[in-house]
Every structure is written in C-alpha cells, then in structure tokens.
Chain A
Amino acid sequence: AQTVTQSQPEMSVQEAETVTLSCTYDTSENNYYLFWYKQPPSRQMILVIRQEAYKQQNATENRFSVNFQKAAKSFSLKISDSQLGDTAMYFCAFLIYNTDKLIFGTGTRLQVFP
C-alpha cells in the first residue's frame, strides 16, 4: 500500500525564520509526483510546490523549496523568511504515475508567530 507520513502534527516558527516540515512516503513504484499543499484557515487547498520523482533537482517556488531524497523516500518542505500568512495546515501528497490517485499525509499545522 502507498502511504504518506507526516510525523510532526504541529510546528511553530517566528516570523522571518526558516522552518522545515518533514514528509516520508512508501511506495515500490519508481515514477511518481510529490506535492505540498497549504490549507489556511479559509479551508482552501492551495498547491505550494510539486516535484517529479525522475528529476534530481529540488523544486523551488520563491520562499518554498523541497529537499527530495528519493532513496530515503523523504520529501521535506523548507519555508524561508516565514510570514504570518504562512500560518496554515500543510499536507504532503504523492501520485503514482498512471494511477490518477493523489494520496495525502495527515498534515502538519504550522503557526507563525510575530
């Protein structure tokens, strides 16, 4: 079975600091996509960043970057220069190529303090 594990239910960080959210996954497949979604208090699900497993280069989107370790099946999200608006629930997810099903972790609640 394909699983996604987020071992940090809650985290906090001070504004302007850097925080890293952990994610590990389990699959025997070789081709897949990895995602981080953000869910602010508005409940909207927002795609933060996406990584194709065949790409060795880590994806980056402005202040958000990932550390993708394929052999370790690890996909952590780093948020630099944290802002109050980053306060949200963050979900790690992955999708096996040609299966169409996006599988989510249980989420990490991030609180950014002034």
Chain B
Amino acid sequence: DAGITQSPRHKVTETGTPVTLRCHQTENHRYMYWYRQDPGHGLRLIHYSYGVKDTDKGEVSDGYSVSRSKTEDFLLTLESATSSQTSVYFCAIKEDRGLEKLFFGSGTQLSVL
C-alpha cells in the first residue's frame, strides 16, 4: 500500500454531523490528495496538498475542508455531512513534481444517513 493508511476504513454517520477522515503516510512524500469515487463519475479530486499548510482545491471541493500540519498527515473534514457526500474516499500520495506516479490508500467507505 506504499505506506499509506486511511482511517477509518468504514464510517456511518448522520446528516448534519461533522466527520474527519485521516490519511497517514510513512513515505515523506510532498504531495497528498483526497479523491471521492462514485458510480458513473470515476474518481474526482476534492483537495490536494503540496506541502505542510499548502493546499489547493480540486473539482468537487464544496462542503469539504482539509488540513496538513505535518508532512505525514492529511485530514479531510466534512463540516456538516450530507447524504450526497456518501461515497468512497481515497487518499493518494506523490513523491514530487516530475515523479508523476500517484499511490493510493485502501479507501474509506462513508455513509451519511
């Protein structure tokens, strides 16, 4: 799994509650990403980080925030979960620009009821 751990692996929550997903890497890679996977949409980028405290939005960032206070951890927060955020969430890492291979975690299945 290229040294990537996502937690939790599964989560069920209720609409309106805050949720935080964690991605932890042991590779010391500069770039970290959060994607969501939905049937018929493939994987879509939510946010990514290119260093500690450096983040940028992806194509589906509304309703999500991220934080990266340490190289190894990248947190994805749903401030107030909605049913449309039910999805599988993947974290990915990349060593650096020019080394264009992303390695993915095992995913988190989030269900918002």
B3 to chain A, nearest CB (A): 14
A60 to chain B, nearest CB (A): 17
| Contact flag A100-B40 (CB < 8 Å), given A43-B107, A45-B104, A50-B100 | no
B74 contacts A by Cβ under 8 Å? no
A43:B41 contact, CB within 8 angstroms: no
CB within 8 Å of B: which of A83-111? Answer: 91, 93, 95, 98, 100-107
Interface size of B by Cβ–Cβ distance < 8 Å? 25
B106:A100 contact, CB within 8 angstroms: no
A64 contacts B by Cβ under 8 Å? no
CB within 8 Å of A: which of B24-46? Answer: 31, 33, 35, 40-45
* Contact with A103, one of B31, B45, B107 (Cβ below 8 angstroms): B45
Interface size of A by Cβ–Cβ distance < 8 Å? 20
| Contact flag A91-B106 (CB < 8 Å), given A100-B48, A100-B94, A101-B58 | no
A47 contacts B by Cβ under 8 Å? yes
A44 contacts B by Cβ under 8 Å? yes
Q: Which residues of A contact B41 (CB under 8 A)?
A: 106
A103 vs B48: C-alpha distance when bound (angstroms): 13
From B48, B97, B102, residue with most partner A Cβ within 10 Å: B102
A105 vs B48: C-alpha distance when bound (angstroms): 19
* Contact with A101, one of B45, B103, B107 (Cβ below 8 angstroms): B45
Q: Which residues of B contact A6 (CB under 8 A)?
A: 42
Interfacial residues, chain A to chain B (CB-CB below 8 A): 4, 6, 33, 43-45, 47, 50, 91, 93, 95, 98, 100-107
Interfacial residues, chain B to chain A (CB-CB below 8 A): 1, 31, 33, 35, 40-45, 48, 50, 58, 88, 90, 92, 94, 97, 100-104, 106-107
> Can you list 9 contacts pairing A with B, beta carbon distance less than 8 Å?
A43-B106, A44-B1, A44-B107, A45-B43, A47-B101, A102-B102, A104-B43, A104-B44, A105-B42
Known contacts A6-B42, A100-B50, A101-B45; 8 further A-B pairs (Cβ under 8 A): A44-B1, A44-B106, A45-B104, A47-B103, A93-B43, A102-B92, A102-B102, A104-B35
